[in-house]
Structure 1
Amino acid sequence: MSHVVNRFSQKNDHGLYPTVVEEILRAFYLSNIGKNVWDHIKQEAVDAFNQPDHGGAAFLQGLNAYYQDDHHPHITLVGHSAGSIYICELLQYADKVLPPDVTFDIVLLAPACTYKLFANTLQACKDRIASIRIFAMSDQLEQADAIVPGVYTRSLLYLVSALFEDAPDTPILGMQRFFSTEAPFNKWPEIPLTFTYLSASQNNNIWSLIDTGDGLSSHAKKHGDFYCDDVTLKSLGYILTNGLG
């Protein structure tokens, strides 16, 4: 129980019951199973760009050839959950191989990448991002999205934050909980950096449930809703047709 008390004292708890469950799973090393799977997913995103014949690298080489042939398409990258990790890796590799004027519109749905990865991407190649929009749940909905009702009563992103990253309560980009520059969250330098970048436009973050017009609305109530919720899909359709400008 000392770990639970310590997390409350450091204000990185997820509520009493969820935190107790998290620390029990950690104490019996059951969290390692999920972390190993999660680490593999993240490594797959890295590996997509570490050899010229791997999918991500090959795609960007083909895109480079397309640009060199005087084609200049408007490209929107859409990623749900772990797809945000892939997009961060893609942007960093794209910055190495594409002409400097090639940029992307970015749409992230409930992104599961860490604030640290996203901030590192901004520092490395933010000029590759023409515009960005993030759709995610309000923290109230995130807490209510029980991944295993009666057992673990928080969302998948809460679970990732608590157990699948290197430290409990690791800041995850799709969690409204961390979108703050106040204590205790300002102790992570990647949060103020990301907060400042995303706060440049009120339309960069869309917290469901919300109805604020074309391309700005979502009724997603669960982590898996973002790719099937009609309101969110309508917003995506509008963005793909009209862009983020």
Structure 2
Amino acid sequence: MSAKLSKLNYINVGKKGTFQYDSQATLLHTSSPKEIDELFDELKRKQVKKIAMYFHGGLVPSDEGIITAERIIKYVNRDTDAYPICFVWDTGIKRTVLDNLDTIWNSAFFRRLLVRIIKIAGGELGIESITEVGSRGVSSLSDTEIYAELEKPVPFERYRTDTDAKSATIIEIPSETPEPVIDRRLRKSLKGKMEEEIEADKTLRELANEEKPDQEAELFDNKQQTEDEDSKGIVSSVKLLAAALKITVNIIKRHITQRNHGFYPTVVEEILREFYVADLGRWAWEGMKNKAAAMWNDDDFSGDSSKWHVGTYFIKKLDEYLETNELTVDLVGHSAGSIAICELIDFLKESNYAVTFRNIIFMAPACRCDLFSKTLLAYPKLYSSFRCFTMSDEKEKLDHLVRLYPRSLLYLISGILEPEQDAYILGLQRHVSGNYPYSGNFLDQVALYLKTENRIVYSITLDDVADGLRSGSVTHGGFDDDDETTLDSIMYLIKK
């Protein structure tokens, strides 16, 4: 725990959103009801009339959350008259995810399968070079040439879908075709080609039948394990073919329906989803989201106080403070911190607490658009103003997480960690554009809401934009870290 940070400025959320010690956390100290009582005693002593509550991003351990809290507290104390309170919660799966991605990248099986999928899917889509004279399709590349392309910082960056290519099946199936129909047509068309490709690749089949090192074997999805008890391989030949066909169909289908994340990132996403994603980090991502909701669980505050829910107890004390004191409350959330704030609104909508907020401010929000719609959009009386700072889609694509996956963390969440492909994430510009295929139902409502009253700011902004509307971050983590432009905009909103 940092010696610089007072317990009167932060609240550490424990196991399952309670005051219980979380053995998985990297921070030894867990807050207690008594410490929250002392925090509100301090507010009364200082006659505080404005507080700024900050929720750090997910995918970081609590000790890194403390470092971020220190930075936010410094800004709030320096530039505003608000009292800063930071919610710290251990959500440190980012290192696990990145380490797992590195392990997968170095897997001979993964890389060999990657080559096969690139050839088949790329050929069907007409993926061709935009730099070579006469153009050259992916399917015509040798394995050696594809491996060389994979060694580049951004593989296949100079390749695009060519709908005029003779091999491009994408032009044969209209985008409005129902997905089950697309699926059936593609399976029928691709099955023979995939069988030939797998059969011709003896090395891939041998790798599938090899016993993997423990570190690598642990990453494979259990549903892919061979049913032959005598085999030490990771997947049977029958399952390998079925999985490769499914992966390829999904890649092409996502291009037809315009739900892809670029050719190469989509190939990686679909392979990871089919073979590795169960242990890659989705379970931890879901656990983090559950914790964001659990901290606001209903409570009668009886029995063992360590089992009380931290956020709910804080709201109880805040409600009591408001009975006798004038107070303005602003909420700021970065990345998964937006999920915690959405869940707070969901909790308050039917509670008896008379707590409302002035500003709700998101930075690179990782919350789903449907969660945002059913909470903040559905209950506007619980807050007065909203603003979101995030990157343009162009900058988002340039924020490369690792070599294996040259897209941002929000793209990773959308494409891999959420249950469905291309899950709608509020911080991704493409998902809140209101344009096809991201339109209809709640997506239209979200898009319209964000486009009015300067509610969304995309970095990088021009120098002449008004105060409170500037942002300069070019990385997901930069918004609450090294991007003073965004933090200055947030402090402008808080000090108003």
- Find 1:130's aligned residue among 384, 394, 398: 384
The one-letter code sitting in structure 1 at the alignment partner of 2:444 is P
2:388 is paired with a residue whose SS is strand
2:292 is aligned with 1:45:
yes
Structure 1: unaligned runs, 5 residues or longer: none
Q: Tell me by how many angstroms 1:218 deviates.
A: 0.9
1:93 is paired with a residue whose SS is helix
1:166 is paired with a residue whose SS is coil
2:362 is paired with a residue whose SS is strand
- Find 1:58's aligned residue among 297, 313, 326: 313
Cα distance in structure 2, aligned partners of 1:155 and 1:231? 20
Cα distance in structure 1, aligned partners of 2:277 and 2:322? 48
The one-letter code sitting in structure 2 at the alignment partner of 1:196 is L
1:219 is paired with a residue whose SS is coil
In the alignment, which residue of structure 1 is the partner of 2:484?
Answer: 230
Structure 2: unaligned runs, 5 residues or longer: 1-247, 300-307
In the alignment, which residue of structure 1 is the partner of 2:411?
Answer: 158
Cα distance in structure 1, aligned partners of 2:296 and 2:438? 32
- Find 1:205's aligned residue among 435, 456, 471: 456
The one-letter code sitting in structure 2 at the alignment partner of 1:58 is Y
In the alignment, which residue of structure 2 is the partner of 1:115?
Answer: 369
Cα distance in structure 1, aligned partners of 2:352 and 2:458? 34
The one-letter code sitting in structure 1 at the alignment partner of 2:263 is L
Contact 1:157 1:172 in 2 (8 A): yes
Change (3 A) 1:223 1:31: farther
2:460 is aligned with 1:240:
no
Deviations 1:161-210 (A, max 9, x none): 011112100110001111222211114x2211112222231x21010001
1:18 is paired with a residue whose SS is helix
Deviations 1:131-154 (A, max 9, x none): 000000000000000100x21000
In the alignment, which residue of structure 2 is the partner of 1:79?
Answer: 333
Contact 1:31 1:163 in 2 (8 A): no
Deviations 1:99-154 (A, max 9, x none): 27x33310000000000000010354221121000000000000000100x21000
2:394 is aligned with 1:147:
no
The one-letter code sitting in structure 1 at the alignment partner of 2:271 is I
Give the aligned length: 237
1:130 is paired with a residue whose SS is strand
In the alignment, which residue of structure 1 is the partner of 2:468?
Answer: 215
Cα distance in structure 2, aligned partners of 1:163 and 1:116? 18
Cα distance in structure 2, aligned partners of 1:127 and 1:199? 19
Cα distance in structure 2, aligned partners of 1:172 and 1:122? 15
1:97 is paired with a residue whose SS is coil
In the alignment, which residue of structure 1 is the partner of 2:88?
Answer: none
The one-letter code sitting in structure 2 at the alignment partner of 1:233 is L
TM-score by length of 1: 0.92
Q: Tell me by how many angstroms 1:12 deviates.
A: 0.5
Cα distance in structure 1, aligned partners of 2:466 and 2:279? 43
The one-letter code sitting in structure 2 at the alignment partner of 1:206 is V
The one-letter code sitting in structure 2 at the alignment partner of 1:97 is N
Q: Percent identical across equivalent pairs? A: 38
Cα distance in structure 2, aligned partners of 1:213 and 1:168? 37
1:75 is paired with a residue whose SS is strand
Deviations 1:74-105 (A, max 9, x none): 111000000000000111222323227x3331
Structure 1 runs (4+) deviating above 3 angstroms are: none
Cα distance in structure 2, aligned partners of 1:206 and 1:41? 26
Contact 2:391 2:429 in 1 (8 A): yes
In the alignment, which residue of structure 2 is the partner of 1:29?
Answer: 276
Q: Tell me by how many angstroms 1:32 deviates.
A: 4.5
